[in-house]
Amino acid sequence: GAGVSQSPSNKVTEKGKDVELRCDPISGHTALYWYRQSLGQGLEFLIYFQGNSAPDKSGLPSDRFSAERTGGSVSTLTIQRTQQEDSAVYLCASSLVSGGANEQYFGPGTRLTVT
């Protein structure tokens, strides 16, 4: 079946612009996660959604970052007023249900470059 998809695969933007990154999870997966992968910081958790519950935003690095999940499926990560330190690969993952025992399935990522 189809895996997690993300778009765009690459995004180059100017400092100060807003960007939106999209994630389509595996059909039927109720939990959705965003991570960021960068050379200096490794893999960092950003935010996670589980069904209709309030998202866990504890990993968002600043108030310039926000995310929403519409209809319990597609998610959009928005970065406002981008900075050069936002340059990274943004990974989305989904799992069948929430819970620490469930493996997460990752998308290919969106490579964001802020110039």
Where does this chain bind another protein (CB under 8 A)? 4, 31, 33, 35, 42-43, 45, 48, 50, 56, 58-59, 91, 93, 95, 98-109
Cis peptide bond prior to 61, omega within 30° of 0: no
Instruction: State the nearest-atom distance from the C-beta of 7 to another protein, in Å.
Output: 13
Q: What does the block give as tokens for 19?
A: 């960007």
Q: Are 86 and 15 in contact, with CB atoms under 8 Å apart? A: no
Q: Please provide residue 86's backbone torsions phi and psi, each rounded to the nearest 5 degrees.
A: -80, -10
Residue found by looking up tokens 């998809």 in the block: 5
* Separation CA 111–CA 102 (nearest Å): 26
Q: Which is closer to another protein, CB of 47 or CB of 114?
A: 47
Instruction: State the nearest-atom distance from the C-beta of 114 to another protein, in Å.
Output: 19
Q: Which is closer to another protein, CB of 48 or CB of 79?
A: 48
Q: Which is closer to another protein, CB of 71 or CB of 99?
A: 99
